[in-house]
Amino acid sequence: MAIPLKYNLRNLVVRRVSTLMTVGTIALVVAVFVALFALANGLNSSLIATGSPENVLIIRQGSQTEMQSGVSKEAFQIIQTLPGIARGEDGKPKASAEIAVVVNLPRRETGQSSNVTLRGLSETGFSLRPQIKLIEGRMFRPDVGEAIVSRKIVDRFSGVGPGQTIQLGRRALTIVGVFDASGSSFDSEMWASVNDVADAFDRSGYSSALVRAESVATRDQLVGRIEAEQRLKLEAKPEVKYYEEQTTASGPIRGLGIFVAVIMGIGACFGGMNTMYAAVAYRTREIGTLRALGFSKLSIMTSFVIESMLLALIGGIVGCLLALPVNGIATGTMNFRTFSELAFSFRITPELLVYALIFSLVLGFIGGLLPSRLAARMPITKALREI
């Protein structure tokens, strides 16, 4: 025969001080758990959201990023002649020669410098990324020393607002527009003409090439065609896949989240265990009475474990509520593949909240297991003699 659940609920209310202390401990642990994994989720989302399904990114064989890659001007001319590349209304192939370099900019808050990606692209480069929207100013004109910058870069760094001029390499670039990249990794970049960037950093070739396939269905055929072309010796990847591979950048953050959650979780387990041991000591006669009424050892043990898990679940719900305000907060971190700033926002998902509640239940189960075992093994005669 199972002990009624209302018995456990009433005990939590009666011991409200210890209940609140344990709930607070677990709530803090769960809040930190949610915040850290929301950080990793935001970083992952910004990378996964980058790229268009029809686009193919072409880099040097063996390169992991555009920063490490090189594509010659001759190779780019050959690429544009390959069948399977979509063409615009003017009949020209939708292909963009691009240069990606890292530049140093001062942070707005601290003045300390940080790496930011400057991307030089051809005139078609903007149209190949339909998620990019100009929200202020205008598009840069090619080869006259103009650039546009993402809204998040403007908010986080000084000297890059509309109308301001910055010296990068051998060229001065005037900021003429601000764009929004819809939460993709392009929110961490500045864009200018590929020839301006090549001149500023004395580049004779390109970092990569971006082309659009005629359709998603023919994209993989185009990838195979590019890689089979012996004159190129280049590697082609769907743009979406290229950025998905960079989600390993969130690995250190996710590892930190797991480490902190385990350490704090151990502390929360001990806190819950102390609460439940105190409950067992306080309710010794109750336990003896329950045994005398015919409740089995298993029923008593189950009841105390359920009580501990209820306590932890309440703490988990409170912790999730405490963590919700961080959702959407903009931040940034180093992309250890490109060694440049990657701007993104905390992202709390329903799935993450479910995991947090499961985590709190696990804490409650572990914390209540030993005290409940003690309660179940208590002799009836000894329990009834306790005052």
Among candidate residues 143, 153, 206, 208, the one with its CA nearest the CA of residue 173: 143
What pLDDT is attached to residue 248? 66
* Residue recorded with tokens 């959702």: 327
Give the span between the Cα atoms of 25 and 369, in whole angstroms.
Answer: 18
Break the chain into its structural domains and give their ranges. Answer: 5-48+249-385, 55-212
What pLDDT is attached to residue 298? 79
Give the span between the Cα atoms of 113 and 105, in whole angstroms.
Answer: 5
Task: Return per-residue pLDDT of the chain as tens, 387 residues.
Answer: 566 667 767 777 777 777 788 888 888 888 988 988 888 888 888 877 788 899 999 999 988 889 889 999 999 999 999 999 999 888 889 999 999 999 989 988 777 888 899 999 998 999 999 889 999 999 999 989 999 999 999 998 999 999 999 998 888 999 999 999 888 889 889 999 999 999 999 999 999 999 999 999 999 999 999 999 888 989 999 998 888 887 665 567 667 767 777 787 787 777 777 777 776 666 666 666 776 777 777 787 788 788 888 888 999 999 999 999 999 888 777 666 666 777 788 899 999 999 999 998 988 888 887 877 777 777 766 655 654
What pLDDT is attached to residue 384? 57
What pLDDT is attached to residue 178? 96
What pLDDT is attached to residue 119? 95
Cβ neighbourhood burial of 240 (10 Å; 0-12, 13-18, 19+): buried
What pLDDT is attached to residue 285? 67
pTM of the entire predicted model: 0.76
